[in-house]
Amino acid sequence: MSHTTYAQLDAWIDAHFDEQVKFLQELIRVPTDTPPGNNAPHAERTATLLKDFGFDAEKHAVPDADVKAYGLETITNLIVRRKYGTGKTIALNAHGDVVPPGEGWTQKPYGGDIVDGKIYGRASAVSKCDFSTFTFATRALEAVNLAENHQLNGNLELHFTYDEEFGGLLGPGWLLDQGLTQPDLMIAAGFSYQVVTAHNGCLQMEVTVHGKMAHAAIPETGVDALQGAVAVLNALYHQNTLYKAITSKVEGINHPYVNVGLIEGGTNTNVIPGKVTLKLDRRMIPEENPVEVEASIRQVIADAVTGFNQGRAADMQISVDIKRMLMAHSMQPLAGNKPLVDAIQKHGEQLFGEPIPAMGTPLYTDVRLYSERGIPGVIYGAGPRTVLESHAKRADERLDLEDLRRATKVIARTLQDLLG
């Protein structure tokens, strides 16, 4: 592909960048807090905005019963199909659902305000920004090739989905299961300074510890579920010491980790708690076997319960219920992703002025649902070097607009290489 074409793509993006930023601001201003997960209104707003660009978005609503059973309220996933000719189909996927903003913001979480060259708001960096990256890269691709009377080969699909925070099964997973899409390659929302080819898996479990409620004045008549839960917690956290000896060979991924992110229990200060619930998150490196990991966690909990109950009468023992909430497999690199990696690295280095490494990430994403079906893909989009810099899932999430501009050019050039 000629440098002239790349320059034309870059120039189109520069000329329309104010429009791109306004598009992103509109996306930020419609909340998609998950939970509770009422995300259909954002899909409707996105489809309306896309219509202004001449893009018809198919609206695929997940049945209400399935969404409610999943613990959310509404999900409508969008597909925009751009058909150019015979050849491969490339999907560009970004998710619109995000965690609630929480406290501590100095900017409005749904304002989309721009301060010192950065746009602020929940999902500004992960990943409504890449709704705009992928949309405007596609627009640039089409405009430049139409002006040059050049026929593109293959097809492009935009997948804007709304179930990443809960694992993706009703987002990309649902689109794939319903046979609504089967791309040959895919690029998913990410950051600008590395192209991600692998990521961790994630096992989430709910552990309910059952004891026996009693008045705090006569504690010997009860079984303290919280004390039992402490024994389970100590056993789980001890695993993190052992996990440091299990290292991944994938650059960017270190070792497994278990985190207990939510604890609920008890009724009042003067009552021995009869039930405590823990929700845990076990990150799995790509080399681990998920079935073995789950069995190991269950055994750790069982051993902790046995230890706690030792020497106690049968009616004064704790018991536990364990429920798997999510099993998200790791993303494994597929050999077919090489054209994507090569193109992104080439154009990324030219536009960002530094090498763009191919590496793994300790996060888990819904991209795995494509790779599990044999669809080679990578994670790349607009964003800083690290999740920490982006403030994703924290107060004052933000995105440097120059990263947005340059990442859009990288994607447009990559699409030109693959479809031109």
Residues 64 and 193 in one domain: yes
On whether both 191 and 310 belong to a single domain, the answer is no
Q: What are phi and psi of 7, to 5 degrees?
A: -65, -35
Residue 387 — very low, low, confident or very high, per pLDDT cuts 50/70/90?
confident
Rama region for 343: left / alpha / beta (φ>0; ψ in -120 to 50; rest): alpha
Mean pLDDT over residues 4-16, rounded?
A: 96
Runs of H (alpha helix) within 158-289: 172-177, 225-243
Residues 133 and 214 in one domain: no
CA atoms of 352 and 359, how far apart (whole Å): 17
Are 321 and 337 in a shared domain? no
Task: Give the residue from 327, 348, 379 where a domain finishes.
Answer: 327
Tokens of 133: 């990256």
The pLDDT of residue 208: 98
| Beta strands per DSSP E along 46-137 | 57-61, 76-83, 89-95, 114-115, 118-120
User: 322 pLDDT exceeds 90?
Assistant: yes
Instruction: List pLDDT tens digits, range 185-244.
Output: 999 999 999 999 999 999 999 999 999 999 999 999 999 999 999 999 999 999 999 999
Asked if 44 and 131 sit in the same domain, the reply is yes
| pLDDT (0 to 100) of residue 364 | 87
Q: Same structural domain for residues 154 and 220?
A: no
3 confidence band (pLDDT: 50, 70, 90)? confident
Q: Are 228 and 152 within one domain?
A: no
306 and 360 in a common domain: no
**Residue 137 is inside which H or E element, if any?**
helix 128-147
Domain range spanning residue 280?
201-327
Give the Cα separation of 285 and 107 in Å (integer).
36
Whether the predicted pLDDT of 28 surpasses 70? yes
Stretch (H or E) spanning 185? strand 185-188
Dihedral Cα 371, 247, 250, 206, nearest 10 deg: 30
Given a cut of 70, whether residue 181 has pLDDT beyond it is yes
pLDDT > 70? residue 1: no
Yes or no: say if 28 and 121 are a contact pair by the CB < 8 Å rule.
yes
Query: Where does a domain end: 304, 327, 350?
Result: 327
Dump pLDDT digits (tens) for 286-304: 999 999 999 999 999 999 9
Please identify, among 293, 327, 361, the residue that sits at the C-terminal boundary of a domain: 327
Model pLDDT for residues 141-151, shown as the tens digit of each residue: 999 999 989 99
Helices (H), ranges, 269-378: 290-309, 338-352, 368-371
The whole-number pLDDT of residue 411 equals: 98
Domain shared by 84 and 180, yes or no = yes
- For residue 352, is pLDDT > 80? yes
30 token code pair: 């419609």
Q: What is the pLDDT of residue 217?
A: 97
CATH number of the domain bearing residue 105:
3.40.630.10
78 phi and psi, to 5 degrees?
Answer: -115, 140
Comparing CA positions, the residue from 415, 414, 403, 353 lying closest to residue 24 is 403
Number of domains into which the chain is organized: 2
Residues 195 and 205 in one domain: no
Q: Could you tell me the two tokens for 160? A: 């804007």
Given pLDDT bands bounded at 50, 70 and 90, which one contains residue 2? Answer: low
Same domain assignment for residues 16 and 150: yes
Q: At what angle do helices 225-243 and 290-309 cross, to 10 degrees?
A: 140
* Residue 250, domain CATH: 3.30.70.360
Confidence band, pLDDT 50/70/90 cuts, at residue 363:
confident
With a CB cutoff of 8 Å and minimum separation 6, the contacts of 168 are 95, 161, 328, 365, 366, 368, 369
Q: Which amino acid is at 417?
A: D
Question: Is the pLDDT score of 84 beyond 80?
Answer: yes
Cβ distance 34 to 97 under 8 Å?
Answer: yes
pLDDT value for 192: 96
Helix (H, G, I), strand (E, B) or coil at 29: coil
Please state, in angstroms and rounded to a whole number, the distance separating the CA atoms of residues 154 and 138.
13
Mean pLDDT of all residues in the chain? 96
Q: What residue type is assigned to position 121 of the chain?
A: G
Per-residue pLDDT averaged across 237-265, rounded? 96
Asked if 236 and 121 sit in the same domain, the reply is no
Strand partners, 280: 205, 260
Confidence (pLDDT) at 350: 97
